[in-house]
Amino acid sequence: MPQTATPDVGAHDLGTLADLVSIPGGSFRMGSDDHYPEERPSHRVTVDPFWIERTPVTNEMFRRFAVETGYVTFAERLPDPAMYPGAKKELLHPGSLVFARPSGPVDQRDFHNWWKYVLGADWRHPRGPNSLIKGRDQHPVVHVAYEDAAAYAAWAGRDLPTEAEWEFAAPGRISRPTDSTAPRRSRVFRPTATASTT
């Protein structure tokens, strides 16, 4: 799709045109035949030109959304036991996975070796209930599920990138926007996955 309009920077003044980068579109190999089964098979994908925010959504930006809307993230909500048959009752409390650096080599087929479910871990408490994001306003928001990212993007007047757009943009195929030829709605980087290493 040709870029024909100035990008809409969003309904909530979250940035300016300078915060967006133009991705010209093109074709690339997506997936991998050498790694995770869900990445197979490697295949050729073409994406149309689009605009994307230069940086991930920050704690400051996500806080503004949460305060203005009263939004409660997936990690902050009490899990529905019907959605987790066989789950231990002590784990059916709000929380999220937190990266736990292994002390040495581990079996990479089992994510439990480096991700731990921590009760009370959420975007405001990235390592658990005794941690805070104070002083980390410009850090990427963490512990955000897809539905949380979609709610944020809708509030911001943006769209989430497709998986293909995200992968195409990630290697750095970017240039500063210098004209008014972008789609009306721009995309936002997905908030960072549920990891915190700090």
Phi, psi of 77 (to 5 degrees): -90, 150
Summarize pLDDT for 83-99 with one digit per residue, the tens.
999 999 999 999 999 99
Nearby residues of 150 by Cβ (< 8 Å), 6 or more positions away: 160
Summarize pLDDT for 101-143 with one digit per residue, the tens.
999 999 988 999 999 999 999 999 999 999 999 999 999 999 9
Q: What's the confidence (pLDDT) of residue 116?
A: 95
In order of their start, the domains of the chain are 17-169 (3.90.1580.10)
CB 54 within 8 A of CB 169: no
When pLDDT is cut at 50, 70 and 90, the band that residue 76 belongs to is: very high
Q: 95-99 and 50-53: which strand pairing?
A: unpaired
- In terms of residues, how long is the chain? 198
Peptide bond into 41 cis (omega under 30): yes
Continuous segment of H or E residues that includes residue 20: strand 20-23
Q: Is 57 exposed, middle or buried (0-12, 13-18, 19+ CB in 10 A)?
A: buried
Continuous segment of H or E residues that includes residue 164: helix 163-169
